[in-house]
Structure 1
Amino acid sequence: MTLANYFASLARYHVWATERLVGSNLAGLSEADWHRECGLYFRSVHRTVNHLLVTDDIWFARFAEGRSLRLPLDTELHADRGEACQALGQAVQRWSPWLAEQAPERFDGELAYTRNNGDAVRIPFAPALGHVFNHATHHRGQLSAALTAMARPGPELDWVYLLQQEAKSS
């Protein structure tokens, strides 16, 4: 499998897992549970969803637009739950079309950007891109654990289930 195909699969997973979590589980939370302090790094489901949006925006700007957004990682982009969930659903869909435009040799290059603190960074492109999807998986796992702690069902989010689903339909 080429790196382009590997990352295309990760981008599909990014959409699939986000849709499963947001659509069937987070949408059904009460307002109190949406904002409840539940021991997450960003404290609540609301703040964690906003963090996912912020970081997706930051990384997409770095990769696709060559821009370094300087947003605090706990920025509230959307106070309204519906708007936050809709924006996250749209954000994760940007990666597949962008990845389809990348030349294979791009994955062997570097990514240069400026961190929030102003430091210039140059890191390997492919591992940095892997971080984008791994980071989102980490926080989706936190959200799934928060749902479990609230006695709500969490969806099955393992990537292998998407791969099995895709294998059946091909």
Structure 2
Amino acid sequence: MKELFLVQALAGAWANDILSAELARLDLAQWTAQSAVNFCSMQGIANHLLLADRLWLHRLTGEGEALASVAAVPCPDVADFVAARREEDARVTAFVRGLDPARLGQTLHFRTIDGTPKALPYFLCVAHFLNHQTHHRGQLHALLGAQGIACPDIDLMYSPAARELAAPGAPGA
């Protein structure tokens, strides 16, 4: 399971780099254009992803700051977002590399942003954490297309991490 999580984390960082390069092509009006999607714009979605990653890393590790919202905009411009995204992806990858497989069988106790106590399998929380980005990256990919930017494919199977696993002689190949 840890190997799958590492592939997802590495593929996520790769996909985020591709999206970040495409987002950097936007002007401020395109970046902040209102849309009928979660968090109202590409700026809103991108910042939500950043904050949600910070929130989940805090829940999973106890490190970092507890957040009161995942709807704020700590990075109002694309350049700030791209730098913060790369930093967060490094944290995500380091977290997954350091995962103790025994921890995956335990329960994570945490509180939601509104204070509701939760207890869920730790492995499920890690899976959700890594999958959550995929959902919103898809929204960003589609919104870039709506702005006339043909973003490259960012599916997991095209990532260098997945291609490496699929190479002849690789585990599971």
> What's the TM-score once normalised by structure 1's chain length?
0.90
Report the AA paired with residue 14 of structure 1.
G
Name 2:78's counterpart in structure 1: 81
Task: Give the Å deviation of 1:32.
Answer: 0.9
Unmatched 5+ stretches in structure 2: none
Q: 2:163 — aligned with what?
A: 164
The alignment partner of 1:93 has SS state of helix
Give me the whole-angstrom Cα distance separating, in 2, the residues matched to 1:67 and 1:61: 5
List runs of 5+ in structure 1 lacking aligned partners: none
Separation in 2 of the partners of 1:138 and 1:46?
15
* Corresponding position: 1:120 with 2:117: yes
Q: Report the equivalent of 1:131.
A: 128
For the structure 1 residues 118 and 128, does the alpha-carbon distance in structure 2 shift closer, same or farther, using more than 3 Å as the test?
Answer: same
Where 2:68 maps in the other structure, the secondary structure is coil
Contact in 2 for aligned 1:68/1:115 (Cα 8 Å): no
1:129 partner amino acid: V
Structure-2 residue corresponding to 1:21: 19
Deviation at 1:165, TM superposition (A): 5.5
Q: Is the 8 A contact 1:54 1:73 kept in 2?
A: yes
**Contact between 2:23 and 2:78, CA under 8 Å: does it hold in 1?**
no
For the 8 Å contact 1:58–1:71, the answer to whether it is kept is no
State the distance in 2 between where 1:32 and 1:165 align. 39
Deviation at 1:67, TM superposition (A): 6.9
Equivalent pair of 1:70/1:115 in contact (CA under 8 Å) = no
Taking the aligned partners of 1:113 and 1:71, their CA distance within structure 2 comes to: 14
Match for residue 39 of structure 1 among 36, 53, 58: 36
Determine the C-alpha separation between the residues in 1 that align with 2:26 and 2:3.
Answer: 36
Structure 1 residues 113-158: Cα deviation after superposition (integer angstroms, max 9, x where no partner)? 1111111111011111111111111000000110111121122011
Change (3 A) 1:66 1:31: closer
Say which of 1, 4, 21 aligns to 2:2: 4
Describe the SS at the equivalent of 1:29: coil
Contact 2:54 2:64 in 1 (8 A): no
The alpha carbon displacement at 1:166 in A equals: 5.7
CA contact (8 A) 2:28 2:77 kept: no
Length, aligned pairs only: 167
Q: 1:110 to 1:76 in 2, by over 3 A?
A: same
CA displacement at 1:89 relative to structure 2: 1.7
Cα deviations by residue, 1:98-126 (Å, 9 ceiling, x for unpaired)? 22222211111111111111111110111
